[in-house]
């Protein structure tokens, strides 16, 4: 029997035009309002950048893959010593809204893979909810949300 691989999928519709959603994802200033605390630069095809998250005292290297304006963003990042591909597809929907679909792939179907699947599925669902709150209401849902993970009680 062939061993199956695990893949994360998450999606959520934003009530904003695709160009606005695209910019919120690739612009580090906008992204710092709902996802990261800091980035070394804008997401551009072939570029290597560093992301910092408020709940972790470390930087995460990100290698930007393919970018198609207002349609597609891909990047690779290291998870437990394995470089994984994340793909975001933006689809324009009715009433000038945008469906954001995210896929992160892939890990082996073993204990480490299942732990990754649970944690990063939760993470991408959180990313989408935070993106929606920021774009539609100007709210940063992450602010203070993960203080329990640090010494910022």
Confidence of residue 122 (pLDDT cuts 50, 70, 90): very high
Domains and CATH numbers, the chain: 5-143 (3.30.530.20)
Give the C-alpha separation, 46 to 64, whole Å: 5
* pLDDT tens for each residue of 10-55: 999 999 999 999 999 999 999 999 999 899 999 999 999 999 987 7
Give the C-alpha separation, 129 to 71, whole Å: 19
What is the percent of the chain where pLDDT is above 90?
77
Q: Structure pTM?
A: 0.90
Is the pLDDT reported for residue 1 higher than 90? no
* pLDDT tens for each residue of 58-93: 788 999 999 999 999 999 998 778 899 999 999 999
């Amino acid at each position: 029997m062939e061993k199956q691989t695990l893949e994360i999928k998450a999606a959520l519709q934003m009530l904003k035009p695709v160009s606005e959603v695209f910019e919120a994802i690739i612009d580090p200033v906008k992204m710092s309002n709902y996802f990261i605390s800091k980035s070394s630069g804008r997401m551009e095809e072939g570029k290597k950048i560093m992301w910092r998250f408020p709940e972790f005292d470390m930087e995460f290297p990100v290698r930007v893959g393919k970018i198609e304006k207002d349609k597609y963003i891909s990047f690779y990042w290291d998870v437990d010593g394995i470089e994984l591909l994340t793909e975001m597809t933006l689809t324009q929907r009715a009433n000038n809204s945008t469906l954001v679909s995210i896929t992160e792939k892939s890990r082996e179907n073993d204990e480490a893979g299942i732990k990754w699947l649970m944690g990063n599925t939760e993470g991408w669902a959180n990313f989408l909810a935070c993106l929606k709150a920021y774009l539609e209401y100007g709210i940063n849902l992450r602010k203070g949300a993960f203080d329990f993970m640090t010494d910022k009680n």
